[in-house]
């Protein structure tokens, strides 16, 4: 005969009242506004200039000083005054492939920048942009606005020999220059060797494969002149 084993006491089931109390306590928990605030300005750094008193608060300034200090400690990156770098952005700049941001430059969240690259004063780069400086570099002028998912590749693969793997044929680099006060729409790609003139506009989704004159409005793949904001002076 086996001895009867006493049943272990069961934990009391949560009552409707206790479940409601737990739910109420969860709702009453203070949200983490600090993290949300950083996320907001990371994806929309224009807010810092639209309403500095509201968004460029002391905690944001301290956070940015720390972010920029940490980047500069491990990469050859120079930041001007009042710069901003969003969450998730990665900047790589080996010696000789420097990255420099002018005063008031804004780089939004999740961008990738590999030098050489110079971003002018008050220029802005929106989320998920990708810049590869190649050997010569990418230069972006003062006050230029660049939309999300922008890409600039300042190099080209050599593929002249069909009998050799492309990866074994090396690359060339001429560099990319984007002028002052340029507006570049979302998802634009700029190829190596291109110069985009001051005060020009590049339409959304364009692939820019040749130079753009100052004040020109271009769009398409490949980008072509649609009109001029102002006729450039005769050459």
Q: Classify residue 69: in a domain, yes or no.
A: yes
pLDDT per residue as tens digits for the range 126-162: 999 999 999 999 999 999 999 999 999 999 999 999 9
The answer to whether position 233 is within a domain reads: no
Nearest to 144 by CA among 111, 175, 173, 177: 177
- What is the number of domains present in the chain? 1
The model scores a pTM over 0.75? yes
Residue that has been written with the tokens 């710069």 in this structure: 83
Q: What's the domain range around 162? A: 34-228
> What are residue 170's phi and psi, to 5 degrees?
80, -175
Looking at residue 100, which CATH number applies to its domain? 2.160.10.10
Q: Is 98 a domain residue?
A: yes
- 17 lies in some domain: no
- The answer to whether the CB of 119 falls within 8 A of the CB of 111 is no
Rounded to whole angstroms, the Cα distance separating 187 from 147 reads 7
* 126 neighbors 146 (Cβ within 8 angstroms): yes
Residue 192 lies in a domain: yes
Q: Which of 25-29, 76-80, 194-198, 208-212 has the lowest mean pLDDT?
A: 25-29
Q: State the average pLDDT for the chain.
A: 91
Range 92-110 average pLDDT: 97
Centre a 10 Å sphere on the Cβ of residue 16 and count the other Cβ atoms it contains: 7
43-100 per-position pLDDT tens digit: 999 999 999 899 899 999 999 999 999 999 999 999 999 999 999 999 999 999 999 9
Please indicate, yes or no, if residue 16 is contained in any of the structural domains.
no
Residue 5 falls inside a structural domain: no
| Domain membership flag for residue 27 | no
d(CA 193, CA 196): 10
């Amino acid at each position: 005969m086996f001895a009867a084993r006493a049943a272990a006491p069961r934990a009391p089931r949560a009552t409707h009242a206790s479940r409601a109390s737990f739910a109420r306590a969860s709702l009453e928990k203070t949200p983490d506004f600090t993290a949300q605030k950083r996320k907001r300005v990371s994806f929309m750094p224009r807010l810092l200039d639209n309403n500095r008193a509201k968004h460029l608060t002391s905690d944001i300034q301290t956070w940015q000083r720390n972010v920029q200090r940490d980047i500069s400690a491990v990469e050859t990156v120079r930041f001007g005054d009042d710069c901003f770098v969003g969450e998730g952005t990665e900047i790589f700049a080996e010696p000789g492939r420097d990255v420099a941001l002018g005063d008031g430059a804004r780089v939004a969240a999740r961008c990738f920048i590999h030098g050489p690259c110079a971003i002018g004063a008050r220029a802005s780069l929106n989320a998920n942009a990708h810049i590869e400086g190649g050997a010569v570099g990418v230069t972006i002028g003062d006050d230029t606005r660049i939309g999300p998912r922008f890409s600039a590749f300042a190099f080209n693969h050599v593929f002249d020999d069909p009998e050799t793997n492309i990866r074994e044929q090396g690359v060339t680099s001429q560099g990319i220059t984007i002028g002052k006060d340029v507006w570049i729409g979302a998802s634009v790609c700029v190829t190596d060797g291109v110069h985009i003139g001051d005060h020009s506009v590049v339409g959304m989704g364009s692939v820019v494969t040749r130079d753009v004159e100052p004040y020109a409005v271009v769009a398409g793949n490949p980008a072509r002149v649609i009109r001029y904001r102002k006729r450039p002076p005769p050459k």
